[in-house]
Homo-oligomer: A and B are copies of this chain.
Amino acid sequence: MLNNLDEVFGALSDASRRAMVERLVRGPASVSQLAEPFAMSLPGVVQHLAVLEAAGIVSSHKTGRVRTVQLVPGGLGPATAWIGRQRLPAEARLDRLSVHLSPPEDLS
> CB within 8 Å of B: which residues of A?
3, 5-7, 9-10, 12-15, 18, 21-22, 25, 71, 73, 76, 79-80, 82-83, 85-91, 93-94, 96-98, 100-101, 104-105, 107
Contact = CB atoms under 8 A, between A and B. Distances in A.
Given A9-B13, A10-B10, A18-B5, A107 B91 contact: yes
Given A6-B13, A73-B88, A18 B82 contact: yes
Q: How many copies does the complex hold?
A: 2
Taking chain A's interface residues, is the majority helix, strand, or loop, or is none over half, making it mixed?
A: helix
A96 B25 CA distance: 17
A20 to B, nearest CB: 11
18 contacts: A3-B15, A5-B15, A6-B13, A7-B13, A9-B13, A10-B13, A12-B83, A13-B13, A21-B86, A25-B86, A76-B83, A80-B83, A83-B83, A91-B104, A91-B107, A93-B107, A94-B105, A98-B101
A104 B98 contact: no
Nearest to A79: B83
